[in-house]
Amino acid sequence: MAQHTTPRFLSRTSAPHISTLILLAGLSALCMNIFLPSLPGMTAYFDTEYQIMQLSVAIYLGVNAIMQIVVGPVSDKFGRRPVILWGLGLFLLATLGCIYAPNTEIFLAFRMAQAVVVVAMVLSRAVVRDIVPEDQAASMIGYVTMGMAIVPMIGPAIGGFLDESFGWKANFWILFVLGAVIFAMTWADLGETGRKSGLSLSRQFREYPELLKSPRFWGYSLASALSSGAFFAYLGGAPFVATEVFDMDAAKIGIYFSAPAVGYFLGNFASGRYSARIGVNRMILWGCYVNVFGMALSLAIFLAGAGTEESFFGLVVFVGLGNGMTIPNATAGALSVRPHLAGTASGLAGAIMIGGGAALSALAGALLTPERGAYPLLWIMLIVSVMAVVTILAVIKREKRLTGL
């Protein structure tokens, strides 16, 4: 099988090259945000309301979460390679549908269909777990998801340039071209890495209880969800804080808002460099501690009456850094609980993370008012960060008890 050979680029007889896996993960992230600067122009083009066009983000995330639950069992049944290739092929067709959609309803339908590209993100991580052991998987996932940190930093800037130069459809054309290139790379470079389960698809879905009954799976999944929950809460509340508390203009918000992505990049680099040496559990714990440190310091500064936009956004870098250390390692841990269900575990853990994050994002938006300032958001981010520490400590304690160490 491919996992027993040294990677050779564009050869299906060896393990896939890491650049292929990075591009697969990055395409899913790029599809989510590259077109955001085009929303006003798209609103005018389709002669609709801005709130309607904003649904192109919400429905994408909603279908994305559902797809993550479905993709794992399907790939464990039929293999990683065919599911990724079919997903990319359908993504290309959906992207063409977005480009040529005659009205808002059809555009949104094809935009919903674009979410099938999540197979690239979910299964790129499952492929990593297929080909390397747990600690090494955390390192490799760190490098793979580092690409997902870069894309959100540069995607909207690229989208804004393309929109200004060529119109909103250029963003979808670039997605189509990149999707086609990545499809070709995957076809040439990615052999089958998973062992097919041999179970019927209905039986494959019935394997979910095996994961859901595992305390370790829940421990790793919740550590990842709670740690990333601080970031999702930030996404839901930071724009309000920036405009209502600090009266920042859009250009300044755009610069400051990317602070967590910088930390996430560095955290993923640390995971890639040190996880195999330090171990999954310790990297998760340290990442969670970094989250707590950043949020506790930020809240303390505000409580002291010294909170500023620099302190608020600057200390959120620690949230990104902590997530970059926590998420790749927690993902590797969740995928290692039942290695024969790696695809299922990747999808389910991702759905738990996105579902929990979406709820925290909505909660932050609901609690923030001009009178309360940044405090509700800071408290939410600190509380979930502390809960993540408690969760991974429980995993470590249970593991020590079972091993007698």
Domain of residue 159 covers 2-198
* Residue 295 within a domain: yes
Most distant CA pair in the chain: distance in Å?
66
* Residue 118 within a domain: yes
Instruction: Indicate the number of domains in the chain.
Output: 2
Q: Are residues 82 and 230 in the same domain?
A: no
Q: Are residues 240 and 267 in the same domain?
A: yes
* Residue 313 within a domain: yes
Distance CA 359, CA 333 (A): 24
Q: Are residues 92 and 227 in the same domain?
A: no
Which of 172, 198, 224 delimits the end of a domain?
A: 198
Whole-angstrom CA distances from 321 to 112, 152, 249, 285, 289 are 31, 15, 26, 13, 10
Which of 150, 167, 198 delimits the end of a domain?
A: 198
Q: Are residues 194 and 224 in the same domain?
A: no
Q: Are residues 213 and 349 in the same domain?
A: yes
Cβ atoms of residues 288 and 392 within 8 Å: yes
pLDDT of res. 107: 94
**Residue-wise pLDDT tens digits, 109-137:** 999 999 899 888 888 877 876 777 666 76
Q: Are residues 141 and 246 in the same domain?
A: no
Q: Are residues 329 and 218 in the same domain?
A: yes
> Degrees (nearest 5) of the Cα angle 152, 147, 313?
45
| pLDDT reading at 2 higher than 50 | no
Q: Are residues 148 and 7 in the same domain?
A: yes
Distance CA 330, CA 335 (A): 9
**Residue-wise pLDDT tens digits, 281-314:** 999 999 999 999 999 999 999 999 999 999 999 9
Q: What confidence category does residue 1 fall into, taking pLDDT thresholds of 50, 70 and 90?
A: very low
* Residue 204 within a domain: no
Instruction: Using only the alpha carbons of the chain, give its radius of gyration.
Output: 21
* Residue 239 within a domain: yes
Of 182, 227, 185, nearest in space to 385 by CA: 227
Average pLDDT, stretch 336-341? Answer: 72
pLDDT of res. 262: 82
Q: Are residues 141 and 220 in the same domain?
A: no
Q: Are residues 178 and 241 in the same domain?
A: no
Q: How many CB atoms lie within 10 A of CB 395?
A: 23
* Residue 203 within a domain: no
CATH of residue 101's domain is 1.20.1250.20
Q: What confidence category does residue 394 fall into, taking pLDDT thresholds of 50, 70 and 90?
A: very high
Which of 170, 198, 226 delimits the end of a domain?
A: 198
Q: Please, which residues have CB within 8 angstroms of residue 121's CB and are 6 or more apart in sequence?
A: 24, 25, 28, 29, 148, 350
Q: Are residues 275 and 145 in the same domain?
A: no
Q: How many CB atoms lie within 10 A of CB 310?
A: 10
Whole-angstrom CA distances from 97 to 93, 175, 327 are 6, 12, 34
Q: Are residues 392 and 273 in the same domain?
A: yes
Average pLDDT, stretch 15-23? Answer: 80
Token pair, residue 194, equals: 């998973």
Whole-angstrom CA distances from 206 to 202, 211, 341, 388, 393 are 6, 10, 11, 28, 30
pLDDT of res. 50: 66
Q: Which position has the token pair 């940190």?
A: 149
